[in-house]
Amino acid sequence: MRIPFQRFPTVFVRLTGRNGCLREYRALVSPATEYCILPKVDAYRLGYPEAARDEPVTEPPNLFRGVTFNGYWEGMLISVKEVAIGGVSRTNVDFIAFDLPQVATFDVILGRSFLNPSRLAIDYAGNEIRIGETEEKR
Amino acid sequence: MPASSPETREATFEQIKKEHPNLWVAVTVTKRDENGQPVAGKVVADDADRYRLRDQIIMHNDICIFFAGEPLYPLFL
| pLDDT tens string A3-52 | 999 999 999 999 999 999 999 999 999 999 999 999 999 999 999 999 98
Dist. CA A118–CA A18, nearest whole Å: 23
Residue A14: closest C-alpha in chain B: B64
Cβ of A30 and B71 within 8 Å? Answer: no
| CATH class of the domain comprising A8-122 | mainly beta
What is the reported pTM?
Answer: 0.91
Assigned domain for B3 exists: no
| pLDDT tens string B12-71 | 999 999 999 999 999 999 999 999 999 999 999 999 999 999 999 999 999 999 999 988
Question: For chain A, how long is the longest CA-to-CA vector?
Answer: 50
Cβ of B65 and A23 within 8 Å? Answer: yes
Cβ of A104 and B76 within 8 Å? Answer: no
> For chain B, how many structural domains are there in total?
1
Domain boundaries in chain A?
A: 8-122
> Measured between beta carbons, which residues in chain A are less than 8 angstroms from residue B35?
1-3, 85-87
The domain containing residue B61 runs over which residues? 10-67
Assigned domain for B4 exists: no
Assigned domain for B75 exists: no
Assigned domain for B73 exists: no
Assigned domain for B42 exists: yes
Cβ of B77 and A39 within 8 Å? Answer: no
Assigned domain for B15 exists: yes
